[in-house]
Amino acid sequence: MSAAVEEILRQVSRLTPKERHSLTLLLPYAVEDHSDEYEEERRRIVLSLRGKYAHLPGSLDEFLARKAEDLELEEYRPYEAS
């Protein structure tokens, strides 16, 4: 934890319960919105993981489609006697 965060926690611990309650109500409005930055970071991580795990099988839908193809091939018998 950074020194700044530790100092903030020390200061908060000195507040009265009423002051802490007020702080919890006001804090969400005091924090800047960095959702775009977080979204870009998340996107970068997801893309890097896609590359790292590209060799793994895909989604369940892809698996079921491959399984259906396999079953069709198993059922196909061109020279079956009548």
Quick check: is 81 in a domain?
no
Give the pLDDT score at 82. Answer: 55
Handedness of CA 49, 41, 43, 34 (dihedral sign): positive
Token pair listed for 15: 């507040």
- Both tokens of 17, joined, read 């319960």
Q: Identify the pLDDT of residue 14.
A: 92
- Cβ burial of 82 (10 Å; 0-12, 13-18, 19+) is exposed
What pTM value is reported for the model? 0.36
Which residues of the chain are modeled with pLDDT < 70?
A: 33-34, 57, 80-82
pLDDT at 80: 64
Q: Could you tell me if residue 71 is inside a domain?
A: yes
Structural domains counted in the chain:
1
Residue 23 within a domain: yes
Q: What angle do CA 64, 67, 73 make, to 5 degrees?
A: 145
In a domain, 63, yes or no: yes
Residue that is written with structure tokens 């396999």 in the block: 70
Q: What is the pLDDT of residue 73?
A: 86
Which residues form the domain of 61? Answer: 3-32+47-75
